[in-house]
Amino acid sequence: MREKGRGRGSFTPGRALGLCGAFLVLLLAAFVVAVCFGDQPISLHAAFFGKPTSKDAIIFWSLRLPRALLAAIVGAGLAASGVTLQGVLRNPLADPFVLGVSGGAALGATVALAVGFATVGEVAPGLGGGLARLSAPALFAFVGAVAAMLFVLVASQGHGGRAPYAALLTGVVFNAFASAAITLVKTLSDPDRLGEILYWLAGALGYERIHTLVLSALLQVVALGVMLALSGRLNLLTLGDDDAASLGVSVAWTRRLLLLAASASVAGAVALSGLIGFVGLIVPHVLRLAFGPDQRLLVPLSALGGAAFLMLADLLARLAFPLFGAEPPVGVVTALLGGPLFLALLYRRGQLTAA
């Protein structure tokens, strides 16, 4: 049964451009708020036009800007992959972590932190330059996420119309295995390193170097481009494999590409931020209830909305520093915001669908 909601309308290029423009303005507003406020408010005018050595300029260029850009990149990837997976798997509860990608990333990062690897140079002493300074936990997380993604994709092949359910069940089983392995590693880890592991698993945004942000942004642009290009076919996939095939969609190939793009997006995001939940679940559902189920509209709006949501959630985490004497992980903030909001949506609408 298709969901009922207001604010729907047929897809037109003009409507899509208008909504994307409005969400872009929202994203820019969230960016301005995120970089201006925090434990120490700053002036953008002073940061841009004042002395480079001024307090406002140092805070903006060295701290606020890299962190806001990272939040935008991660939020866009998580939300866009969430809405894509909900359509591909035809499951409204699917989120970016359902395919085992999060389990692989968490296991990889946990191993790196438990061993004590901080940079790639410590893992491969022969490397030099910028590669040696890359974060070892991020690299291990990305490798683990990619390995999990490939495992799930291979395991779900050959199941025909049951492929979405095979991928979903394989991901759930792999996440359970990864969780057990992480528990074992934590049990055997040095107590001094256990705090780092727990903080990473809770989901946190740091201050990445510019080349890391550029590489991450390029990965997300490619993945989002694939999801957007196939969003029209994804609309047909939600009708069922037989109906989609009768309308000319190469079902297996389209599903494989979408799963690959969504998983790559999640891998790139999780490698830099840890496990930040609810972004890929809440943002797509709010937008679907507001604007309808057309994936051609939901994919770009979810990317923009997810970026704005995570930037503002990170701002709340930074503002909480004086209250707690420490900055809570942003994953805790998104869970505290997303959990009650999801329940409110569920009981207000009666049901949520991915179609």
Q: pLDDT tens, 182-222?
A: 999 999 988 888 989 999 999 999 888 888 899 999 999 99
Q: Cβ atoms within 10 A of the Cβ of 196, count?
A: 19
Give pLDDT, residue 239. Answer: 85
Q: pLDDT tens, 272-289?
A: 999 999 999 999 999 998
Q: pLDDT tens, 92-105?
A: 888 888 889 989 99
Angle between the N-to-C axes of helices 251-273 and 65-88, in degrees from 0 to 180, rounded to the nearest 10: 150
Q: Cβ atoms within 10 A of the Cβ of 138, count?
A: 26
Number of H helices, E strands in the chain: 18, 0
Q: Is the pLDDT of residue 265 over 50?
A: yes
The CA distances from residue 254 to 94, 246, 250, in Å, are 18, 14, 6
Structure tokens at 142: 């990305």
Give pLDDT, residue 5. Answer: 40
Lowest-pLDDT choice from 105-109, 121-125, 222-226, 293-297 = 121-125
Superfamily of domain 56-349 in CATH is: ABC transporter involved in vitamin B12 uptake, BtuC (1.10.3470.10)
Q: How far is CA 245 from the centre of its chain?
A: 30
The distance in angstroms from the start CA to the end CA of the chain is 9
pTM of the model: 0.90
Q: 119 — alpha (psi -120 to 50), left (phi > 0) or beta?
A: beta
Lowest-pLDDT choice from 82-96, 112-126, 132-146, 162-176 = 112-126
| Burial class (CB within 10 angstroms; exposed 0-12, middle 13-18, buried 19+) of 314 | buried
CA geometry: angle at 312 spanning 309 and 317, to 5°?
Answer: 125
Q: Cβ atoms within 10 A of the Cβ of 229, count?
A: 13
Q: pLDDT tens, 33-66?
A: 999 998 888 999 999 998 888 999 999 999 999 9
Domain ranges of the chain: 56-349
Lowest-pLDDT choice from 5-14, 35-44, 111-120, 249-258 = 5-14
